[in-house]
Each structure stands twice: as structure tokens, then as C-alpha cells.
């Protein structure tokens, strides 16, 4: 099979990979749930390539993201739900419907008028979506209600921050930061109890509560949790790189180094940072 610029070739490749008899053993057993993390990861890698202004990487990462779309569509097609063509048709319908000032007769000739028109169209789409969900027997709708406009598809830290901000607008919020520290201590205690009880689901639940409380304290002290964590990630990379290069310079390896040895080098990296600060 040869490479091609035609999307149909990519669809054919995915069908071949998912063939139960001749396909790839890994691809065959995948589900929406198992490839979801890869879909999210690919979207982040696209964003990273854009931030680095690396057009070669951007082209490659966009291809990887497109592959994820084709992968999900193939799984849906096998289940008799929809196919890739339906995905394309749905988004083209949506773009045409939301831009009547471009593709149909409309009086919206200013940015403000377009915004009003867009909001009205989306409200109708929400009503249509609710009707379709009801017909399919789906009763829980996270897009309904006061918090319905907050997308669940964004990073969990960002979603938590948005949920708290919206709740705060109607008075559901701490009046100051200090009591949140007590809440964090409470969540830590509950996490300890769950760990002691050896209940994985409870541990995950309490860990989520703790992280949610940490996001809340960040919001109250003016420290964006996503940016704060990114800063810590960068710091961890820098310090771990110091461990790696120091071991290499001494003729040692990461795999052979003891935890105590790596901890000493970690503290050395922190000392260097303090000197440079």
C-alpha cells in the first residue's frame, strides 16, 4: 500500500489495521476509551509544535491528530454508529449553518451582528441536541444548567478552575483563602484513610478532591494552577537533567544510581538554582 494525499487512503489503512484476521494485533483490540488518552496527547503535541513554531513538526502532528479522528470513526463504523463520512458531513453542515452571512442570505454584516446570530444558532442547536439525546434515552446532560457552558473536553485543571469561577459568580465560594488550607488538610486526611483502607476507587476520588481544593487555593491567591504546574514541570525537568548529566560526567548511569545518590544531586541542583536566583 502506497502513501497518498487522498484521505480515502488513510481510511483504507485504518480499515486494514483493524481487520480482525489480517490487521495489527494492537489496533484490533483498541476501543474509544483506550485511545482517548492518545487523542488528547496528540492535540497537546499540535499545540506544542505551534508554540515552538516548528512547521515540520506541526505537519506531522496534525497528521497524527487526524489519524485519531479516523481511528474513532472506524470503531464507530464497525459498531454501526457512524462512519468518517458522517463526521465530515456533520461538521460541514455545522459550519454552513453557523455562517449564513457567508453561505446564505443574512443581514449580519458586522462582528456584533454575527455574534448575536451565532448565539441564536447555537441555542437552537442545543435544543436539537437535547431532543436527539432524549430520543436515544440519554438523560444526563453536562451541557445543561448554569455550568453547562463549561467544556468538559479541556484539561481537567482548567475545567476545575472554570467551574469554580462560575460558581463564585453566584456566591458559591470561600470568602478568603485561609479556610481553603484547612479544606486541603481535610482532603489529605481523607486520602490517607482511603489509602489505608486499600480502596483504589476511593483513593482516586479523594485524590481528585484534593487536587480540586488545590486549584481553589491557586485561584484565591492569583496563581493559575495550569501555569503553576507547568512551571513545576519545567523545574523538575531542569533538576532531573542535572542528575542525569552529573551521573554521566561521573561515569555512572541513571539505572545504576541509588535513590540516595540521585537525591544528593537533586539537592545540588536546588542549591545551584538558589545561587542563580
C-alpha cell at 84: 468518517
> How far out from the chain centre does Cα 195 lie?
27
In this predicted model, what pLDDT tens digit does every residue of 62-82 receive, in sequence order?
999 999 999 999 999 999 999
| Beta-carbon contacts of residue 257 (< 8 Å; ≥ 6 apart) | 243, 247
Distance (Å, rounded) from C-alpha 247 to C-alpha 138? 56
- How many other β-carbons are positioned within 10 Å of the β-carbon of residue 73? 20
- How many other β-carbons are positioned within 10 Å of the β-carbon of residue 62? 15
Instruction: Give the residues of the chain that fall short of pLDDT 50.
Output: none
Burial of 90 (0-12, 13-18, 19+ CB in 10 A): exposed
Task: Supply the pLDDT for residue 265.
Answer: 96
Distance (Å, rounded) from C-alpha 272 to C-alpha 239? 10
Distance (Å, rounded) from C-alpha 232 to C-alpha 236? 6
Task: Supply the pLDDT for residue 144.
Answer: 65
E strands, the chain, in order: none
Task: Supply the pLDDT for residue 140.
Answer: 63
Task: Supply the pLDDT for residue 141.
Answer: 62
Based on C-alpha coordinates, what's the Rg of the chain?
A: 25
Amino acid at each position: 500500500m502506497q502513501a497518498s494525499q487522498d484521505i480515502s487512503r488513510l481510511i483504507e489503512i485504518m480499515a486494514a489495521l483493524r481487520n480482525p484476521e489480517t490487521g495489527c494485533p494492537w489496533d484490533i483490540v483498541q476501543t474509544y476509551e483506550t485511545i482517548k488518552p492518545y487523542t488528547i496527547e496528540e492535540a497537546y503535541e499540535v499545540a506544542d509544535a505551534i508554540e515552538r513554531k516548528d512547521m515540520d513538526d506541526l505537519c506531522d502532528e496534525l497528521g497524527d491528530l487526524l489519524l485519531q479522528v479516523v481511528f474513532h470513526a472506524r470503531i464507530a463504523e464497525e459498531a454501526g454508529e457512524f462512519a468518517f463520512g458522517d463526521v465530515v458531513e456533520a461538521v460541514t453542515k455545522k459550519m454552513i449553518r453557523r455562517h449564513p452571512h457567508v453561505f446564505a442570505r443574512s443581514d449580519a454584516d458586522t462582528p456584533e451582528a454575527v455574534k448575536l446570530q451565532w448565539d441564536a444558532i447555537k441555542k437552537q442547536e442545543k435544543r436539537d441536541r437535547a431532543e436527539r439525546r432524549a430520543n436515544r434515552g440519554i438523560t444526563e446532560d453536562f451541557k445543561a444548567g448554569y455550568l453547562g457552558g463549561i467544556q468538559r473536553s479541556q484539561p481537567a485543571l482548567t475545567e476545575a478552575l472554570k467551574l469554580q469561577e462560575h460558581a463564585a459568580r453566584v456566591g458559591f465560594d470561600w470568602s478568603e483563602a485561609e479556610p481553603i488550607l484547612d479544606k486541603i488538610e481535610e482532603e489529605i486526611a481523607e486520602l490517607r484513610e482511603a489509602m489505608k483502607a486499600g480502596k483504589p476507587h476511593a483513593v482516586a476520588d479523594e485524590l481528585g478532591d484534593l487536587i480540586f481544593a488545590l486549584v481553589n487555593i491557586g485561584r484565591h491567591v492569583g496563581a493559575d494552577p495550569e501555569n503553576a504546574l507547568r512551571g513545576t514541570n519545567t523545574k523538575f525537568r531542569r533538576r532531573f537533567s542535572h542528575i542525569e548529566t552529573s551521573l554521566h560526567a561521573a561515569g555512572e548511569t541513571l539505572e545504576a544510581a541509588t535513590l540516595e545518590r540521585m537525591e544528593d544531586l537533586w539537592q545540588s541542583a536546588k542549591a545551584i538554582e538558589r545561587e542563580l536566583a
